[in-house]
Structure 1
Amino acid sequence: MGRLTGDVNGVQSGNTTQVPVLIIETDSGVEGVGLGAHGDIARVFPAVEGEDPRAVVALYDRMLDWVFKAGHSGATFGTIGAIDMALWDLKAKSADEPLWRTLGARERFVPGYASGLEFGLDDDDLAALYGEFADRGFKAGKLKGGRDIDRDLPRLEIMRESLSRNARHPAIMFDANESWNHAQAARYVAAIEERMDLTWVEEPLRRWDAAGMAALRGKIRAAIASGENLTGLEQYRPLLDANAIDIVQVGNVWGITHFLRVATLAHGRDLPVSPVAYNGNPVAHAAAAVPNLLTYEVQDLHFPVGLDIDQQFDDGGIVLGDRPGIGIVVDESQMTLAGAVPTIPAAAGPHIRPERAALRLVAEPDVIDVPVPPLRPVS
């Protein structure tokens, strides 16, 4: 993305965000493209190898059945999602139409909100970033935070001011990325709501805490949004049964079929669904086809190096194109082959939960999360 990205749990060490690309080849020469990590490909792919990709829904269940003993969560679910995305791409290409048409959407426009993963940016860069989103007509935005209210409140004001050129009262969301306990969440959101209205607060508690989020709903005005890290319908049921969330979120990286099924599950409860974005917005095609879409997260106005994607950003949302499939053309000359460069796990970043998360009594500087060097024996 050419900028620092991160959230309250940590910030990436550089300006580069890796985007794994999966290409599935067919005997007819057509290729299907899926985006997202697929480290378990060797175990999952035999479930679909040699099959007709047009049977994508049945093949999705076949992949789940293929791994049912070990379970389908985590990296395995991500792999299933990437394969599923590539199979849907192939299915739409076989029909010579964009996926949003294949899925039955009437309109190509997907309403969205700006979400820059901007925790590591200073205030000037924050204003510039949301100014770019405002230039494309966005009327809603989401800020990452949850550590220091004195830092977050001015940044919320900056974001609101940037988006106010398109709406008198832009929709403002706040994402704590599971960093609070119940009491912290209630106090923190109440402090924000003394200054402004929040459309929703996202992941205020751990993703599985149905009882906690249900109780929190009675203490704050903002809606509660969660679900991006849930892998399978069975993980949503406790939250829905407890009336714990107002907006049902779904991660792009888990694939097309998973999104469609969660959207149907939410629709049965009269709840809106909102996809959490990923580079290239592949699930936007499915989002255009469901009746209960609220809004779609847009994290960047540019596309990854080596990917030509048939989308535009205008009027505060995504305008899908007419290219067959999910609209992605890959320039493999700009790709790095998987395994060619060793992947070194990050020591810190948004995907690593800090040791003192939800255990802080007061706002603390980011230095608290810098790994401490190991002790050396004294000779």
Structure 2
Amino acid sequence: MHITGYRTLTTVQEWGRPVGDANGVFADGVTPISIVLVDTDEGITGVGLGPHLDIDTIFAAIEGEDPRSVTALYDRMLRQTFKAGHAGCVFGTIGALDTALWDIKAKAAGEPLWRLLGGRDRTVPAYASGLDIGLTDDQLVAVYREYAEHGLQAAKLKGGLDVERDKHRLTLVRQVLAEAGPARRPGLMLDANECWTRKQAVRHVGEIEQAIDLIWVEEPVRRWDADGLAAVSRGVRASVATGENLTGLEQYRPLIVAGAVDIVQAAAVWGISHFLRVATLAHAHDLPVSPIGTTPIALLHAATSVPNHLTSELQDLHTPIGVSVDLEVEDGSFVLGESPGIGVTVDEDVIAASTRRPQTAATDSPGVRPEHAGRRLLAVAER
């Protein structure tokens, strides 16, 4: 079997509500989803979700190769970007191709990836994550009530701009989860998306913890600030979670050495090989790992095969336009199907016919760091 080519597509996720974080909000609730399809001479096509940046350059490292040699091909792609580096969207392109190769490998074996990787249980614990900072109280309650109806008893809220507002919103969600599952204690997390300084983080979280028990606080300071993340971890009761924006083991190593991370995260967009290596590194330091992503199905397969998986992020109960997944959400967990590969099917005709497009990135979108992030003296006015 040989790799013969690739195709790229872009579809959208329709959230049906504003989505965003402390850095900005997509008011129309429409976000882009990039897809890479890798073709082979045996008619098997692999699906990867992720960016396309510099894909011609990166694809040259795997063209004509046997896609089943996925681990070696992952390293070939990393070497292909040796001089320019592989951070950011380039790492996402490598991750998308890597995911497609794993998909091909499992399809060729006629097995779901979770079984090919050595997983035994296809049930993966989940927590709810609504990207919810732009929601009203009524919208917030409605969104998490829907999650609770699927059995989820843990939730991660976006926050960091107003401690009183954060406490209020966490209390609302705690009540929703408690009403849906009174036999279990709701779990709550807060994601600040790198919007604080070290002292701001300790003060903000410390005040919340006087009333609410947090499982973790996510990205309280900049992703690479090992000393700062460690200081926050020492200064609050909650665990510190980070890693979704780290691209490569070399970026995790200083954080782990400094005791700066308690929950090791990896984003779905960076690919399966990356996640497996991160999970092994974390396990060597007795740390749990947790996948992050809009549709993290590929990492869910991988999560079944690692001993230190904690829980995986469930952001949306609906799939992007033209994309279907062999996956259910039941009793607070993802339940993976038996389809060969990662269980993702792409309808190219539906995507081509769709007129739905995301808005052009604005300066107040979640992907743009605000000018005054980490330098705010007072709470930001409610959105």
TM-score bin (small chain): over 0.9
Deviation at 1:21, TM superposition (A): 1.0
> Given the alignment of the two structures, is residue 55 of structure 1 paired with residue 69 of structure 2, yes or no?
yes
2:171 maps to which of 157, 167, 177: 157
Residue 80 of structure 2: which of 66, 69, 79 is its match? Answer: 66
Give the structure 1 partner of residue 21 of structure 2: 7
Which residue identity is paired with 1:84? D
State the match for 2:220 in structure 1.
204
Counting only pairs closer than 5 Å after superposition, residues 29-178 of structure 1 correspond to structure 2 as 29-164=43-178, 165-166=180-181, 167-178=183-194
**Cross-structure match for 1:219:** 235
Find the residue that maps to 2:244 and give its secondary structure: coil
TM-score, scaled relative to structure 2: 0.92
TM-score normalised to structure 1 length: 0.93
- State the distance in 1 between where 2:212 and 2:231 align: 22
Higher deviation after alignment, 11-20 or 140-149: 11-20
Query: In 2, Cα distance between the equivalents of 1:342 and 1:147?
Result: 26
Structure-2 separation of matches of 1:126 and 1:275 = 23
5+ residue gaps in structure 2?
1-14
Q: Quick one: structure 1 residues 115 and 342, their matched pair in 2 at CA, closer, same or farther if it must change by over 3 Å?
A: closer
Whole-Å Cα distance in 2 between the matches of residues 187 and 255 of structure 1? 35
Deviations 1:83-136 (A, max 9, x none): 000000000000001000110000000001000101111111110110011001
* Cα distance in 2 for residues equivalent to 1:32 and 1:343: 29
Give 3-state SS (helix, strand or coil) of 1:313's partner: strand
Question: Does 2:270 match 1:293?
Answer: no
- Contact kept, 8 Å, 2:294 with 2:316, in 1: the verdict is no
Q: Pick from 224, 229, 254 the counterpart of residue 238 of structure 1.
A: 254
Partners of 1:309 and 1:279 in 2: CA distance = 9
More strand by share: 2
Secondary structure, counterpart of 1:249 in structure 2: strand
* Correspondent of 2:292 among 271, 276, 280: 276
- CA distance in 2 between partners of 1:282 and 1:24 (Å): 15
Q: Does the Cα contact within 8 Å between 1:114 and 1:130 map onto a contact in 2?
A: yes
Does the 8 A contact of 2:289 with 2:310 survive in 1? yes
Counterpart position of 2:12: none
Could you tell me which runs of 5 or more consecutive residues in structure 1 were left unpaired when the two chains were aligned: 368-379
1:121 alignment partner, SS class: coil
Q: Answer whether contact 1:19 1:279 (CA < 8 A) is retained.
A: no
Give, as a single letter, the amino acid of the residue that structure 2 aligns with 1:298.
L
- Aligned to 1:53, what secondary structure does the other structure show? coil
**Over the residues paired in the alignment, what is the CA RMSD in angstroms?**
1.5
Q: 1:126 and 1:257 mapped to 2: Cα distance?
A: 35
Count of residues paired in the alignment: 364
Deviation digits for residues 226-262 of structure 1 (CA, Å, limit 9, x no counterpart): 0100000000000000011110010110000000000
Shift of the 106–350 alpha-carbon distance from structure 1 to 2, 3 Å rule, reads: same
Q: CA separation in 2, counterparts of 1:343 and 1:335?
A: 17
Partner of 1:328 in structure 2? 344
CA distance in 2 between partners of 1:280 and 1:113 (Å) = 12
Work out the CA distance in 1 between the residues paired with 2:124 and 2:54.
Answer: 31
**Superposition deviation, residue 280 in structure 1:** 5.2
For residue 358 of structure 1, report the CA deviation from its aligned partner: 0.6
Distance change in 2, residues 1:280/1:296 (3 Å)? closer
Is contact 1:109–1:317 with CA below 8 Å preserved after alignment?
yes
Residues 34, 51 of structure 2: 8 Å contact kept:
yes
- Can you list the C-alpha shifts for 1:214-233, whole angstroms capped at 9, x where unaligned? 12222110010001000000
Cα 1:31–1:309 shift into 2, 3 Å: same
Between the aligned partners of 2:313 and 2:261, the Cα distance in structure 1 is: 18
CA contact (8 A) 1:280 1:304 kept: no
Question: Which amino acid counterpart does residue 224 of structure 2 have in structure 1?
Answer: W
Residues 53-90 of structure 1, C-alpha deviations (whole Å, 9 max, x = no match): 00000000000011101101111100000000000000
Structure 2 residue 374 is the aligned partner of structure 1 residue 346: no
Query: How far has the Cα of 1:345 moved from its partner?
Result: 3.5
2: CA distance between counterparts of 1:233 and 1:247? 15
